[in-house]
Structure formats: structure tokens, C-alpha cells
A and B are shown apart, each in its own frame.
Chain A
Amino acid sequence: TPIQNDLNEFYNII
């Protein structure tokens, strides 16, 4: 089953 990523892995918190 593919694992769900979260957005923190792609974007920096400003």
C-alpha cells in the first residue's frame, strides 16, 4: 500500500 506523505516534506514553513 502506498504511504501518504504530508506537505511538510515538500514545503518549508514560513
Chain B
Amino acid sequence: MLEGKFEEASLLKKIVEAMKDCVSSCNFNCTENGISVQAVDNSRVLLISLLIEKDTFEEYRCDRNITLGVGLGSLSKIIGNGANSDYLTISADDDADKLNIIFEDKVKDKISEYNLKLLDIDADLLDVGPMDTDATITLPSADFAKICKDMKVLSESLQIIVTKDSALFQSVGDIGTGNIVIRPKTDIDHPEESVTISLDKPIDLSFGSKYLSDIIKATSLSQKVTIKLTDQSPGVFEYKLPSGYLRFYLAPKFDE
């Protein structure tokens, strides 16, 4: 039996909104420690790795490991019915073919209950494992979202060049070029506005703008995003949850 109660429905709403446009369905792997998902988009360029640790939940129990195959579009429709501030409880029996979703209004005496039909999903898992990182950038997630949107008007590719004291975002397209430079900054009064760059090796990588547009749909999940870059390797874009994370692994583009 799985039962997880979110203090606010808004958290699961944001997670599903951040995932549903790149992955249509995925397995939610539930253990006593929490819920995890790994899913790859159809083009096998972008991988999503989600971990919702049990501490994220107001109440959580999972007696036996279970895998729940979920259509994210369908889940999004159902959880869209609840108010952001509602308690949201998801539950499933060990051999369930449906996921129970219950919203409890915190003010009114109102409980809404839905069932989502589960899917049998046979998906490949990729061994992403821990890896060395050449450069790590942490910046406000809203700033990163704006950089991606602004650069996308110029080109299908965004080049990220990291040196010791700056990160350069560059797009070169038919209509012209764009450059945005950010430098480390410590903001004591507003720590969420701080920018950090740590570097072992300079980085020059290009990523597809269309995939970055999918990644920045996670912006509302966290005030900061951490970007981990390694030469000739996928970039990792991490949005922290209250306890856990939503990570995107994006394959880079290479010159011929």
C-alpha cells in the first residue's frame, strides 16, 4: 500500500507541469524512502530524473515497493481540478490498476476523490550514475529561463561557455547574434539572487534551444537552478525540491 499526502497540491502540479511536455507517460517507482521517476523524451535527447523524498510529504507510507505507470497528461488534467492550497493525497494498493487522488479543502468541508487508470509502461532505464563535473553554475531559475527564452529567438542552439569568472550564453542565428554574460555575485540580503560559478576546466558546449524550453518549465519549482557541465557530456540542470530534486540531463550538440 502506498499513501502520500502533500501539504499543498501545488507541488505535485508544478512537478507534473514541468515533465508532461517532454514525457507523455512514465513509471513512478515508490519505495519506503519516497517516489522516483526516470524517463526519456521520444527523441532520446532529454532525460528527466525526479526524486520526491518521503520528507517532502506531510504523511508517507509505502509498505512494499510498487511501480505505478502514469500518463502525465491524464494526471495533469485530474490534479488541475484541485486548488493549489488543498491537501493532496495519492494512494494505491500493492497490485493496483488505478491511482487514487484525493483533494481536501483546508477551509471548506469538501473532499474530492478521483481515480486515475494506471498504464503498463515498459521503458528503458539509462545508467546516468554519478559523474565528474567540470563546471557548476548556480543562478536564479527565473534568470536562466529568461536567458533561454531570449536566446531562442535567434537560434536553435544555445552555446554555454564557462571560464573562471563568467558564464557566457551565446546564440548565433540568421537574423543576428546574442550574448549574455553572467558573473558570480553574492547577495546577502537576497541569497536567492546570488550567482556562483565553480570551475575545474573551461567549458564550451551547445544545447538545443527547444529542449531548454522544456527544461525551464520547471522554473516555478525552485528559485535557483544548478547547471553542471562536463566537456563532451550531457548537461545536468537541477531544480531542488523541498526534499529531493527534479533533474534534466540534456545531450549536447557537437560540430561535425
Q: Which residues of A contact B (CB under 8 A)?
A: 1-14
Contacts and interface: CB of A to CB of B under 8 A. Distances in A.
Nearest to A14: B125
Contacts of B126: 7-8, 11-14
B125 A13 contact: yes
Contact of A10 (B124, B157, B206, B233): B233
Contacts, number: 55
Chain A interface mostly:
loop
B234 interface: yes
Interface residues on B, range: 20 to 34
A3 B45 contact: no
A9 B253 contact: no
A14 B43 CA distance: 18
Contacts of A2: 157, 206, 253-256
Given A10-B233, A12-B126, A4 B256 contact: no
A2 B206 CA distance: 8
B127 A5 contact: no
A5 B249 contact: no
Interface in B61-96: none
